[in-house]
Homo-oligomer: A and B are copies of this chain.
Amino acid sequence: MKALVYLGPAKKALEERPKPEIAAATDAIIKITKTTICGTDLHILKGDVPSCLPGRILGHEGVGIVDQTGPAVTAFKPGDRVLISCISACGKCIYCRKLMFSHCTTGGWILGNSIDGTQAEFVRIPHADTSLYLMPDGADEEALVMLSDILPTGFECGVLNGRVQPGNTVAIVGAGPIGLAALLTAQFYSPAAIIMIDLDDNRLDVARRFGATACVNSADGKAAATIMKLTGNLGVDTAIEAVGIPATFELCEQIVAPGGTIANIGVHGTAVALHLECLWDRNITITTRLVDTASTPTLLNILHSHRIDPKLLITHRFTLDRILDAYETFAHAASTRALKVIIEA
């Protein structure tokens, strides 16, 4: 089968690989119909993810059709159309028992990382019963691909951890795909204001169309002051960090209201300065989270009720043959205006 293989920092290729086989009784083999590329895949290609070794098939998102199941799989059968979660969960360990699937002792984020992933014609899914979701009748495949990772990440790490509530004020720092996913899912809770902050006016335009009530281009270095002014000097109830660098995290520290929450989504490579000399008495909460995908059933229900249109995030479409072009397009988002790209397998 064809597969996109990581070959070491800055190197990848579309290669021919053997079709995966059932390795454990709880495995399933899925024939991929649609997949996509994540910002994390670019991190891997920079060499920033040591757990991902050269030779690995990338990709942790997608939908497909069950091809084979191991003897202990009871919830799925060949022919079922399924959503693949980016997080594999055994359902048994101490973390799974707390619905903290991201820390599953034999799962977590392993697809396209420590085991082969979804940017291929077939993929092996461990712990299939608790890592796949049946596609609802009439569901749109492309919309569903957004439920593998990006929507639950924005929702869980940003919106739920950030305790977005009706009538509250939210700021989202970073209007890339993840920030926009937070923007779409924050609206489930009817906040009174959602302020979007980015350096790219194009992305801010997109944010405005997606429901932001105010947009701030932070290029002038005055974003904190602007946001304080927009909030009557109260600050925001929830500040969502969706970039992953010190400057954006520290912006969140400056704009969070007393009693508010900073919800970190960004993947950080270095420490940030936590200004406890200012914040120790501000009654704030800071959260971090690797997506658990515990909210996937909720997101499937909401998708089914048409209260969200995740396809808004899709800007480009490719076939698996042209996945290298897809990577080019996705990696140069500033010029291509790419958000999420769909790859048809």
Please tell me if the beta carbons of B130 and A91 are within 8 angstroms of each other in the complex: yes
- The winner among A91, A94, A275, A284 for most chain B CB atoms within 10 A is A91
Q: Is A281 an interface residue (CB 8 A)?
A: yes
Stretch at the interface among A14-22, A28-36, A52-60, A264-272: A264-272
Please tell me if the beta carbons of A259 and B95 are within 8 angstroms of each other in the complex: yes
1/0 per residue A232-271: CB within 8 Å of B? 0000000000001000010000000011000010111111
Number of copies: 4
Task: List which A302-317 residues lie within 8 A (CB) of chain B.
Answer: 302, 304-305, 307
Bound complex: CA A54 to CA B26 (Å): 36
A269 CB, min distance to chain B CBs, angstroms: 5
Bound complex: CA A94 to CA B257 (Å): 12
What residues of chain B lie closer than 8 Å to A307, measured between beta carbons? 190, 192
Q: Is A288 an interface residue (CB 8 A)?
A: yes
A82 CB, min distance to chain B CBs, angstroms: 14
What residues of chain B lie closer than 8 Å to A300, measured between beta carbons? 167
Please tell me if the beta carbons of A283 and B92 are within 8 angstroms of each other in the complex: no
Task: List which A49-93 residues lie within 8 A (CB) of chain B.
Answer: 71-72, 74-75, 91-92
Stretch at the interface among A5-13, A99-107, A196-204, A329-337: A99-107
Please tell me if the beta carbons of A277 and B271 are within 8 angstroms of each other in the complex: yes
Please tell me if the beta carbons of A258 and B95 are within 8 angstroms of each other in the complex: yes
Bound complex: CA A71 to CA B188 (Å): 43
What residues of chain B lie closer than 8 Å to A129, measured between beta carbons? 92
Please tell me if the beta carbons of B282 and A288 are within 8 angstroms of each other in the complex: yes
Indicate whether A97 sits within 8 Å of B276 (C-beta atoms), given known contacts A188-B166, A281-B290: no
Please tell me if the beta carbons of B271 and A274 are within 8 angstroms of each other in the complex: yes
Q: List 17 A-B contacts (CB under 8 A).
A: A25-B71, A71-B71, A91-B96, A94-B297, A95-B258, A100-B283, A103-B258, A167-B297, A167-B298, A189-B189, A192-B301, A268-B277, A269-B277, A273-B274, A274-B274, A285-B287, A286-B287
